[in-house]
Amino acid sequence: MDSLVYTADISVLNDPAVFDRLLGVVPEYRREKAMRFKFQSGKSQSLGVGLLLRQACRDFGIEGADENVVLGENGKPAFRDVPDVHFNLSHSKTRVMCVLSPYEAGCDVEHVRVGRSRLAERFFKDSENAWIHSFPEGVEQDTAFCRLWTLKECYMKVTGRGMALSPDKFTLTMSPEGIVLDHDGVRPEYLFRELESDDGFRYAYCLKGAPETHPVKVAEIDLGGENDKAV
């Protein structure tokens, strides 16, 4: 079965009528979680990832699995009734992302922020800092930092440890041949991929145990479309 990687723009959820309509189609726990946020931005992000997960479950053939989500020891979500299918969610600003796979999975989307590359020495290994600084100073270094950060967070989420696993405890080597993880030794079982975009965001996902040839369907979902399957 193909893995699914879905992304979406949640700007449409700022319209109260659209927000209320789509809030009614997600499971109760997702509605309650979204409404606990004080600001509309948080509400929209929470609803947005819930809508992507709902769509992915439909397309994967496990419709309704998103109604029974449980959390692991460090908060990693899983389907209670479909333990052999894995998913992960992420959001940043106006963008949301979901990965659903027969393999353990993690994903991350991040907005490229000015000046973030200056933080590299706090979080990354020397070789990773050198890779970031191989790019021209400014937006290219900030983009390189964001690329590395999203990839690292994907792996941290796959492990189920999240931020409990400090990003300076392992190394990612970026090369034209691929992305290599070294965490107490080279770990080739982790497959890393990035999505190409020019929207000011970086997107990445990681699958544990997936072969290089594993098919992945990547799609942008229109959350507000009246005829879109997500509604």
If pLDDT is split at 50, 70 and 90, which confidence band does 103 have?
very high
Spatial CA neighbour of 207 closest among 62, 69, 85? 85
Say which amino acid occupies 153. E
Is 90 within 8 Å of 96 (Cβ atoms)?
yes
Name every residue whose Cβ is closer than 8 Å to that of residue 42 and which is 6 or more positions away in sequence: 34
CA distance 189 to 72: 22
Mean pLDDT within 102-109: 98
Q: Burial of 123 by CB count in 10 Å (0-12 exposed, 13-18 middle, 19+ buried)? A: middle
In DSSP notation, 33-98 reads: HHHT-SSHHHHHHHHHHHHHHHHHHHHHT-TTGGGSEEE-TTS-EEESS-TTSEEEEEEETTEEEE
Which has the minimum average pLDDT: 58-62, 104-108, 161-165, 189-193?
A: 161-165
Rounded Cα distance, 217 and 110, in Å: 20
Question: Token match 């021209």: residue?
Answer: 136
Give, as one character, the DSSP assignment of residue 111.
E
Query: Where are the domains positioned within the chain?
Result: 1-103+214-231, 111-210
The hierarchical CATH code for the domain 111-210 is 3.90.470.20
Average pLDDT over every residue of 158-177: 90
Q: What is the CATH number of domain 1-103+214-231?
A: 3.90.470.20
Residue type, 103: Y
Q: Do domains 1-103+214-231 and 111-210 have the same CATH topology?
A: yes
Residue 45 predicted with pLDDT over 90: yes
- pTM, entire model: 0.94
**CA-to-CA distance for 77 and 64, rounded, in angstroms?**
15
**Other CB atoms within 10 Å distance of the CB of residue 42:** 15
Write down the mean pLDDT value for the chain: 93
Helix (H, G, I), strand (E, B) or coil at 135: coil
Section 207-217 average pLDDT: 97
With vertex at residue 140, the alpha carbon angle to CA 153 and CA 174, rounded to the nearest 5 degrees, is 50
